[in-house]
Amino acid sequence: MSRRVAVGADHAGVDLKDELAALLRERGFDVEDRGTSGHGSVDYPDFAHAVCADVTSGHSELGLLVCGTGLGMSMAANRHLGIRAALCAEPFSARMARMHNDANVLCMGARVVGAGLAEEILSVFLATAFEGGRHARRVAKIEPASDPTAD
């Protein structure tokens, strides 16, 4: 059984999203493409919400969101309970986002990273597992229902 990744982008990120979706398919992932599919102006939150719904429902294991800077997508994604979206512009942050923060959505800016670097960031994100341990306690404190003062 292959892993499923939901992908989404706005008009600024559609080309990079399509390149990364093709890479995911080449590597044996099932890809759930939530759009957009063209260069006409669209609202990034619509696509962030669709990808996050796939992840929180369990339909997709991970999400990938691309807009011009990655900022809007990461802000919209992190409004969803259970989503830990990480905006990454280099591989080290992608590794730490997975290893220490159990990030389940990767956000990137198409105007910030080129295709080669984006592929490297995505590869590291996919290959890195959550360490758990002390990090699990900290991640649990991210959710709004958690008491931030509890040990």
The residues assigned a catalytic role are: 67, 100
Q: Are 89 and 123 in contact (CB under 8 A)?
A: no
- Alpha helices (runs of H) in the chain, residue ranges in sequence order: 14-26, 44-57, 71-77, 91-101, 115-127, 134-140
* The token pair that represents 70 in the structure block: 């990655």
Phi first, then psi: give them for residue 9, nearest 5 degrees: -160, 160
**CA quadruple 126, 123, 67, 112: dihedral positive or negative?**
positive
User: Distance (Å, rounded) from C-alpha 53 to C-alpha 20?
Assistant: 20
User: Two tokens at 93?
Assistant: 């942050």
Angstrom distance (rounded) from CA 60 to CA 51: 8
